[in-house]
Structure 1
Amino acid sequence: MYKEYGENSCRTYDIKFGDKSFKYHLYNDFENFTERLFDLDDIDSFVILSDENIGRIYGRSIVNRIRKNYRCELIIFDCTEKSKNLTVLQELIEKVISLKATRRTCIIGLGGGICGNMAGMVAALLFRGIKFIHIPTSLMAISDSVLSLKQAINSEYGKNLIGVFHTPEMVITSTQFLKSLPKKEIISGLCETIKNALTILPESIEPLTGMLNDDCRYTWDNYRYFIEMSIKAKTQVMKNDAFEKKGALILEYGHTIGHAIELADAGAITHGEAIGLGMLCAAEISHMLGHLSEKDVKIHRTLLEKAGAPTVIAENINPDTIVSILKYDNKRGYTPVEEGTVYMVLLDTIGKTFNDSLLTAVPMELVRQAINRMYRE
């Protein structure tokens, strides 16, 4: 699955999605962290995009290392769901151009999933596409968002409705980034790990259950397990579906309602926490339709509770707002639209979906019932 270099200092994974491929370098430290950047051809400069916190902690150090070999600049921007829009994207592109970027400039996204998406969009659009690299620093980004070709921003109507497919040159990260990660962000990343277990790797549920704890006390071996599990899940379903239109749609489990909850809460809830709630809603809907057993629904709840994730929707989130956002879900169009329904990925049993198309038309009234139940469970 991977090649190991040095004394456990770096593990390198070959990520292949269809005919697209890139290297994923997972370090245990920062000592030789930037050496992989210099493997690239036809690059004469770098521009790093980062948020204020990560940029302050790591940005300047990485810039100084790169400047030993190349010209490098650092751009700090407000990295939130609210700023993940066309206006901020244009501002970033103009800023990169002002720094004398050329077609031989490589963009680096240093931070969490939002930062990676913005960096990917800048690289995809500037000069009709230039090289970019992910340096993810959150568990969510390290184990989920960078393992994709999708780069996207939000519309006022919904999450990730504006985007492109653009392949990174490589991913470089380190488990050391997780050392200072807030508990809430660790939980967020684990919710996607749980999703992978429920949908693709049910055999990992037992060991995962044994590792999860609501204190978020994990060893480096635990983190490597979470990361490698996610790499295995993603490559398994995307090896013949790089653009996530067929079998890889399973990765959208929990995302239909989860994205709506995330937007309805205006960023107060993390992406992973919202997806966790979305999975519980999806499990409840499947159970109401006579498919997922009570035991399987309980497995959802047990895993999320052990990880410390919320299992009820906050009272401040209006259920009507959630339902309204659902109407603009980014999976619309994969199947013919049926009035009064929303298409969702639903499980028949743990590790098995309803049908080969993966998407099931669910009456909006049933969706509303499931959402309402999530306020009082």
Structure 2
Amino acid sequence: MARGTIIELSSGVSPSCPYYLGDGIADQLPAYLHRHAFDEIYLVTSDRLHARFGKELARTLSDANIAVNVLTVREGESAKGWQQLTDLCERLVAAGVTKDSVVMALGGGMISNIVGLAAGLTYRGVRYVEVPTTMLNLTDGSLSNKQAVNGSLGKNQFGMYHAPLFIWADVAYTREEPVRQHRSAITEAIKNGLVNDAAWFERLENLLTPDLAAVRDDLLGFCHDVVRSKLSILALDPGERHAGIMLEYGHTVGHAVEFLGNGKLLHGEAVGIGMCAAAKVGIRLGVCEPEVLHRQEHILKQRLGSVVALPEDLTAEQIVEVILSDNKRRAGAAIRFVLVPRVGTVRCVDGDYETPVAEPLLKSVLTEA
């Protein structure tokens, strides 16, 4: 597809918003913003991303007679908490944000989450636009209305649903990401196939190599396909509360491992570890085919070049303690897992897409992992 072409999609969630995908489309952003009435844009990014992309983006907006205020925040999961959230809200108000303003998040999932939540809280809701700069946020994180910050006991414990005005997904921002970051993003694409589309999973098995040559040769086409793989799942449950729970495959252990790692593991790496742990749980329960685990480990380790084993410095007790404070925790004592009986399907009993797992069984699996 020609550089500069915009593919118009929907975020797939409810309420939905436009999702504009392209390669090298930053110069067209002002025209799409001008479709909406607003007083000023409040561009929130990090110092690093402001130097890399933000200055040029702010100049593009200013040249189109759009008033721009730039605010920067700290990057990293350790900064995704109450202190930075409240600080950002106060700074937005002090800078003059109004109910007629638009807050714009330029960054990866951490920045998008904290900016989206700040926009939702300020004056009980200010419009915001997402401009992802990572493949993971562009193909996965932005396709959700969930905004959150971490608590002292786990990831994303405090948040709300707040839909963007639109998502501006320019793959040009992701092109210079390290291969490791792309691998992290692709883990979520693999997950989409595992839970819903065996043909997509098989295609990735054949396409992927550790250097990601085929992905980088057609970055826009690949990202478009990944987005569609998630949209097909969201179409089953735009509210993200029923069938959409299948998107949490691997996240029960994954979020705990990511939180405990304190930045050592990328999100996708932690989710990949969590998917393998979930497959082992399913095998122990007798509801998942061993082939699921074998194919998962092969695609993640051999084809993608990522990790599948738990970090040696984490114990089963530590992981379970964090899981017990998970943001998807429901009534009852049992920990709940999304399980994949066969590639392309999830276990669902009486409309419930999660399976209760006894704590001793989980600890046993994690100890052996």
Q: TM-score, normalised by structure 1?
A: 0.92
Secondary structure of 1:110 counterpart: strand
State the shift of 1:146 in Å.
Answer: 0.1
Deviates more, 1:231-240 or 1:39-48: 231-240
Residue 150 of structure 1 is matched in structure 2 by 146
Q: Secondary structure at the match of 2:18?
A: strand
Residue 346 of structure 2 is matched in structure 1 by 353
Cα distance change, pair 295–225 in 1 and its aligned pair in 2 (3 A): farther
| Conserved 8 A contact 1:149-1:243 | no
CA contact (8 A) 1:283 1:292 kept: yes
Question: Displacement, 1:8?
Answer: 4.7
Gaps of at least 5 residues in structure 2 are none
1:327 aligned partner: 324
In the other structure, the counterpart of 2:204 is: 208
Give 1:200 deviation, angstroms. Answer: 1.4
Q: Deviations over 1:249-294 (max 9, x none)?
A: 0000000110000011112101110000000000111111112222
Partner of 1:182: 178
1:26 aligns with 2:27: no
Query: Is the CA contact 1:12–1:23 (under 8 Å) kept in the aligned structure 2?
Result: no
The equivalent residue for 2:229 is 233
1:210-249 CA-to-partner distances (Å, cap 9, x unmatched) read 2211123344564334423332233223235333110100
CA displacement 1:309-357 (0-9 Å, x = unmatched): 1111221223321111011111212xx41x3x20111112112222231
Deviations 1:148-188 (CA, angstroms, capped at 9, x unpaired): 11111111111111111111111112222222101221111
> Structure 1 pair 16/152, CA: closer, same or farther in 2 (3 Å)?
same
Q: Secondary structure at the match of 2:287?
A: coil
Please state how far the C-alpha of 1:119 moved relative to its aligned partner. 1.1
Normalised by the length of structure 2, the TM-score is 0.94
Give the one of 1, 6, 11 matched to 2:6. 11
1:290 equivalent in structure 2: 286
Q: Check 1:73–1:220 CA distance in 2 against 1; reply closer, same or farther (3 A cut).
A: same
The answer to whether the 8 Å contact 1:255/1:275 transfers is yes
- Secondary structure of the residue aligned to 2:16 is strand
Q: Any conservation in 1 of the 2:3–2:24 contact (CA below 8 Å)?
A: no
Q: The residue matched to 1:351 in structure 2 has which SS? A: coil
Aligned partner of 1:173 in structure 2 is: 169
Matches within 5 A, 1:105-184: 105-184=101-180
Aligned mates of 1:114, 1:268 — CA distance in 2? 15
Q: Report the AA paired with residue 307 of structure 2.
A: P
Residue 120 (structure 1) shift = 0.5
Contact kept, 8 Å, 2:134 with 2:173, in 1: the verdict is yes
Change (3 A) 1:237 1:206: closer
Post-superposition offset of 1:37: 4.0
DSSP-derived class of the 2:8 partner:
strand
**Secondary structure class of the residue paired with 1:32:** helix
Q: Aligned match of 1:103 in 86, 99, 103?
A: 99
CA gap of 1:212–1:302, structure 2 versus 1, over 3 A, is same
Matched-pair contact (CA < 8 Å) for 1:17–1:235: yes
Aligned-partner residue type, residue 370 of structure 1:
V
Letter in structure 2 aligned against 1:27: G
1:65 pairs with 2:63: no
Contact kept, 8 Å, 1:143 with 1:226, in 2: the verdict is: no
Q: Which moved more, 1:175-184 or 1:231-240?
A: 231-240
The reply to whether residue 264 of structure 1 matches residue 260 of structure 2 is yes
Tell me the distance in 2 between the aligned counterparts of 1:213 and 1:235. 25
Query: What is the letter of the counterpart of residue 72 of structure 1?
Result: V
| Superimposed CA distance per residue, residues 57-76 of structure 1 (whole angstroms, 9 cap, x where no aligned partner) | 00111111111222101111
| Separation in structure 2 between the aligned mates of residue 209 and residue 232 of structure 1, nearest angstrom | 18
After superposition, the Cα gap between the structure-2 partners of 1:304 and 1:36, relative to the gap in structure 1 and judged at 3 Å, is farther
- The answer to whether the 8 Å contact 2:14/2:239 transfers is no
For residues 262 and 30 of structure 1, the distance between their equivalents in structure 2, rounded to whole angstroms, comes to: 33
Q: Deviations over 1:175-206 (max 9, x none)?
A: 22222101221111011111011111211122
Mean alpha-carbon deviation: is it higher for 343-352 or for 136-145?
343-352
**CA contact under 8 A between 2:23 and 2:170: conserved in structure 1?**
yes
Alignment of 1:244 onto 2:240? yes
The one of 33, 38, 43 equivalent to 1:38 is 33
